[in-house]
Amino acid sequence: DTAVSQTPKYLVTQMGNDKSIKCEQNLGHDTMYWYKQDSKKFLKIMFSYNNKELIINETVPNRFSPKSPDKAHLNLHINSLELGDSAVYFCASSQGRRESYGYTFGSGTRLTVV
Amino acid sequence: RKEVEQDPGPFNVPEGATVAFNCTYSNSASQSFFWYRQDCRKEPKLLMSVYSSGNEDGRFTAQLNRASQYISLLIRDSKLSDSATYLCVVNSWTNAGKSTFGDGTTLTVKP
């Protein structure tokens, strides 16, 4: 009974393509996030949504566009993929807007751009 | 200076050893503190929250020192299964509610 599920788990694609990653949580949490973990294992926040409202929008290329159709889903669409986009993308959720109780992460999407 | 700093290690310890990690943070307005554990090629998982009074969960003890702006994690009687990267996370409500992750400390417990 997966709490935060992401699909796909692996994604290999060519430069210039457009791809989407989907995330769903069944925890009833209000807030969802996208994090990027690069090859050096640094974890950086990209976006955060609270009840479908964008609340954190870090400095990422506008080729990245999040969409939250409802509070249980947060998708990430990436246009014109570049080699530097290769990383692991983690979706996460938390109860409340201020992460006072910590995050629950999905298992990650390993994106490789060739 | 990074907002959250951790010694990357690696820490290599024998089974049964006691090991401690520190994590310093720069934002004095920080309010929530956590330790996460990340196994190789897996997602981070919440290990424990860190409270002002300190807290313990089995072999794990977390402490917060607001005056010196650091948190610590102590692992007693290390097991092979404790081998992982430990991430310190600091959350400040004045920072738009964002959490900042440390870069992690790698622990390897050897037989």
Q: Do B32 and A43 touch (CB under 8 A)?
A: no
| Nearest-by-Cβ selection for A56 from B36, B93, B98 | B98
Please give the Cα distance from B72 to B33 (Å, whole number). Answer: 10
Q: Chain A contact for B2, CB < 8 A? A: no
Instruction: Decide if A107 touches B, using CB distance below 8 A.
Output: yes
Q: What is the pLDDT of residue B80?
A: 98
A/B interface, count of CB pairs below 8 Å: 51
- Chain B CB contacts of A56 below 8 Å: 96-98
pLDDT at res. A13 = 97
What's the confidence (pLDDT) of residue A36? 95
Looking at residue A99, what is its pLDDT? 58
A60 touches chain B (CB under 8 A): no
Instruction: Give SS3 for A42.
Output: coil
pLDDT band at B95 (very low <50, low <70, confident <90, very high): low
Render pLDDT for B19-63 as a digit per residue (tens, 0 to 9): 999 999 998 888 889 999 999 999 999 999 998 888 999 999 999
Q: What percent of chain B has pLDDT over 70?
A: 95
* B23–chain A nearest CA distance, Å: 15
pLDDT at B97: 63
Please judge whether A90 and B96 are an interchain contact, meaning their C-beta atoms are less than 8 angstroms apart: no
SS (H, E, C) chain B: CCCEEECCCCEEEECCCCEEEEEEECCCCCCEEEEEEECCCCCEEEEEECCCCCEEECCEEEEEECCCCEEEEEECCCCHHHCEEEEEEEECCCCCCCEEECCCEEEEEEC
